[in-house]
Amino acid sequence: MRKKILLIEDSPIQLKSIELTLSKLEHEIFTATNAIEGIELVYQTVPDLIISDIIMPEINGYQLCRLLKNDDVIKKIPIILLTQLNEKLDSFWALKAGADCFITKSNNQEEFLSQVTNFLRGAETISEEERQQIIKDKKSENKDLQTRINNLLDQSLIESTIINEFRNLSEFIYSTRILSKELFSLAYSLVDFNVACIFFNERDDKKKKFLQLSIQNASVEESVLMDIKKDFFNEIFPDTYKKEESSYDIEIVDALINVHNKAENISEFHSRLVIPIAYANKVIGGIAFYHLKSERLNNNKIFEIIVKELKILMRIKWLYSETKYLAIIDGLTGLYNRRFFQQTLEREFARSKRHKTCLSLAMFDIDHFKKVNDVYGHQFGDKVLAEISKIIKSSLRKTDYIARYGGEEIILILPETTTAQANIPIERIREKIESREFMNGNEAVKITISCGIAEVESDVNTQEELLARTDKALYESKRAGRNKTTIYS
């Protein structure tokens, strides 16, 4: 099928030479000697492919590319940029400007034609009907060329300004609240909304997930905000939200109340947009907008820029949270480390005493672990420790804390749990490990664990006393023959 190719080249000799070369492909060729003339021909012919030189007066190839790629209709047309040079910087800017391909000018005509042919073959075909409709639509806009160029330049300037504003927010990644407030301020200058939501996911899945909210020019009932939370997280985490609803909450970052603009039901928001943001198959956050009036969230170009830049910010924030998380995690087992355990125990013990709630500690020790290492090697010993850690993690609640206490010892903090209640999952874990076969190559190795449990009672005045009782109960399990659970009494 015969295609339309637009060739833009300011050198008359080069223009004629490339045109003659392209004529061998028997496609229809239009030519322009500068970018402005080229833009005019783009709107008059809507070609299947644009081939442009980079170095041209007034508007160069990079700028031409950026201008055309900012037009929502014309941006579909592929652009090849040509240069005499083969510098990496040329290639970098060509691709950043939105070029679909970067080709170095060559005396080898066959190579050039092969590249153009391959590119045309893979490019999206514009039907004649579609082409004529675009030309008709552009004519009906009744804009002269300079106005079109000015509009494209304005769009490009707006986009680069928004991008710069987003990039400046990276300094606030250490504070979710401040970052959210700055983001809402920027978003409100670009988008008209009554409620905006933003969520930054954390690497530590034990942390409560907070939806940051901004209310603008409206009065929204608390029950409606809770429905927005449900609506948002159901879309972001459709498989897990209902099971873990108590782990999610809201935080109002800023609010400009208008009592004459009330929302008493979520159904009163006639414009709604919820956008999950993912990276490497992991949800790293999301953003949402709600407006009481209809058709207020239709500016796709603005949302495209917001989401693109927000994804970069959220990736930076995720990496920051991951760094913090790795500082409290044991590398071998994936459990919390001893330092984090001590900080958590201090907090949970104080809370238990203050609110008079139950708190239990449980300590596991792998039986004859030194012998396992001596007979089968430390590599197998590490494997056993990692597998047992997985079994324990999968058997407990999300509200429980599991840490590697030292060597082969694993310790659990069980908030709002008595020793009688704790004994049920602890025994289940012990029995699961006892019945499991740990494979060392083709050899099945049996492993058992001992456990001690203690709880905060009226005569336990410090966390050290609670820890000592747990340790004593563990010692009793070992003294009684191992592979047992003992409750301190």
CA atoms of 67 and 53, how far apart (whole Å): 15
143 — pLDDT class (breaks 50, 70, 90): low
Contacts of residue 195, Cβ cutoff 8 Å, sequence gap at least 6? 213, 214, 215, 216, 218, 220, 225, 228, 263, 269, 289, 290
Dump pLDDT digits (tens) for 302-332. Answer: 888 888 889 999 999 999 888 888 889 998 9
Predicted pLDDT at 460: 92
Q: How confident is the model at residue 203, as a pLDDT?
A: 87
How do residues 405-428 score in pLDDT, each as one tens digit? 988 999 999 999 999 999 999 999
Integer-rounded Cα Rg, in Å, for the chain is 32
Ranking 236-245, 365-374, 418-427, 450-459 by mean pLDDT, the lowest is: 236-245
Tell me: the pLDDT tens digits for 65-75? 888 887 878 88
Assign a CATH topology to domain 4-142: Rossmann fold (3.40.50)
Q: Is the pLDDT of residue 142 over 70?
A: no
Asked if residues 306 and 297 have their Cβ atoms less than 8 Å apart, the reply is no
**Tokens of residue 183, six digits:** 């983001």
Region 166-191 average pLDDT: 90
Which amino acid, residue 25? L
- Helices 300-326 and 176-190 cross at an angle (nearest 10°) of 170
pLDDT at 383: 94
Backbone phi, then psi, for 147, in 5-degree steps?
Answer: -65, -40
Least confident of 86-90, 158-162, 331-335, 475-479: 86-90
Most confident of 127-131, 160-164, 172-176, 431-435: 431-435
Q: Which CA distances in Å does 217 have to 187, 193, 253?
A: 14, 8, 14
Whether 62 shows a pLDDT value over 60: the answer reads: yes
Spatial neighbors of 480 by CB under 8 A, at least 6 apart, are: 486
The Cα–Cα gap between 88 and 144 comes to 37
In one-letter notation, the amino acid at residue 95 is L
Locate 406 and state its tokens. Answer: 């030292």
What's the rounded Cα separation, in Å, for the pair 271 and 261? 15
Candidates 2.120.10, 1.10.540, 3.30.450, 3.40.50; CATH matching 168-323: 3.30.450
SS3 content of the chain, % helix, strand, coil (to 5): 50, 25, 30
Same topology between domain 4-142 and domain 168-323: no
Q: What is the DSSP string of 62-83?
A: HHHHHHHHTSTTGGGS-EEEEE
Confidence of residue 167 (pLDDT cuts 50, 70, 90): confident
Q: Where are the domains of the chain?
A: 4-142, 168-323, 338-487
Give catalytic residues, as residue numbers: 408
The better pLDDT of the pair 105, 452 is held by: 452
Residues 6+ apart with CB under 8 A from 146: none
Distance of CA 302 to the CA centre of its chain: 19
Domain 338-487 is in which class?
A: alpha beta
Q: How far apart are CA 358 and CA 415, in angstroms?
A: 7
User: Which tokens in the block code for residue 430?
Assistant: 């012990």
pLDDT at position 344 is: 92
Q: Average pLDDT of the chain?
A: 88
pLDDT digits (tens, 9 = 90+) for 372-383: 999 999 999 999
Cα-based torsion angle of the residue sequence 280, 284, 289, 295 in order, rounded to the nearest 10 degrees: 0
Arithmetic mean of pLDDT, 193-222: 92
Please report, in angstroms and rounded to a whole number, the separation of the first and last CA atoms in the chain. 88
Q: What is the pLDDT of residues 185-203, one digit of tens each?
A: 988 888 889 999 999 999 8
